[in-house]
Amino acid sequence: MLIGQITDMHVKAGGRLAYRRVDTAGMLARCIDHMLGLRQRPDLVLFTGDLVDFGRAEEYAMLRRLLAPLPMPFYLIPGNHDDRDRLREAFPGHACLRQSEPFVQYAIEDWPLRILALDTLVPGEVRGRLCAQRLAWLDAQLSAAPDRPTMVAMHHPPFQTFIGHMDEVGLEGRDEFAEVIGRHRQVERIVCGHLHRPIEARVAGVVASTCPSPAHQVALDLAPDAPSRFVMEPPGFQLHLWNPGTGVVSHTAFIGEFAGPYPFFEADGSLVD
């Protein structure tokens, strides 16, 4: 089972650029092209929030057009830039978005690896929150299927990244989240967005990660007073391969034109010298 993860697309409409610099719609189109050109296409794609830039209806309409080429099922999770109602209106065929209103939280049961999508959105705020109601849902879902290997997907990561300005707009309720995860044995991985770069940390014994954006990346600066800035480092997405007995193995794919691939070996099998 191969899962594609694309996050933080920040799609804008009408040819507008994010932060007046980034052609996020064009960069998502290139990301989708790249993913569909892989020798192994994902079976499904998870979009882990900040789907559009300002939560506007016209941005969701643009997102819908950009995702239309995907032949595989895809799943949408809100981030702090999203609007739950407009997201639901733009994707009326996605019944899962209404599975646990008012939140956009749902269980994906159609694959050997079960996926629980969490909603960390707080309308009008940049930081995220997992309140008692959302955590109770997670606990109940995990309690209902203790023997099914499970991936948890959400926008705000449940760990400190030490990129100071991003931690300030991090996740409230992460200790309580870790308590819930620690009570269950079947969680294989926690995949997140929000950070616009690949980062890994352990949460209640489980590997948790963030994924690069197909557009702009957050500047790598671990100073506590790091200014809030982005850089146009190579855009990317991730592939999470789940194999029974192995667990989840994750790869980062970079989007762009790169030289190669070149062979390591000569035609006779000797190493190229």
Nearer to Fe ion, 50 or 83 (CB): 50
CA distance 49 to 51: 5
Stretch of 97-105, 117-125, 142-150, 190-198 lying at the interface with Fe ion (CB under 5 A): 190-198
Closest CA to 10 of 258, 212, 271: 212
Give the shortest CB-216-to-Fe ion separation in angstroms.
Answer: 9
What residues from 40 to 79 belong to the interface with Fe ion (CB under 5 A)?
Answer: 50, 79
Residue 223 vs residues 7, 162, 165, 194, 226: alpha-carbon distances, Å: 25, 8, 9, 19, 5
- The reply to whether 80 sits near Fe ion by the rule CB under 5 A is yes
Q: Does 5 bind Fe ion (CB under 5 A)?
A: no
Closer residue to Fe ion in complex, CB, 10/114: 10
Using CB under 5 A as the binding rule, whether residue 83 contacts Fe ion is answered as no
**Cβ proximity to Fe ion, 113 vs 193, nearer residue:** 193
State how beta strands 171-172 and 128-129 pair.
Answer: parallel
Output 184 or 197, the one with its CB closest to Fe ion: 197
Residues 194-213 that bind Fe ion (CB under 5 A): 194
**Cα 45 to Cα 47: distance, rounded to the nearest angstrom:** 7
**Cα radius of gyration rounded to whole Å, the chain:** 19
From CA 166, how far away is CA 160, in angstroms rounded? 9
| Site for Fe ion contains 217 (CB under 5 A) | no
Residues that bind Fe ion (CB under 5 A): 8, 50, 79-80, 194
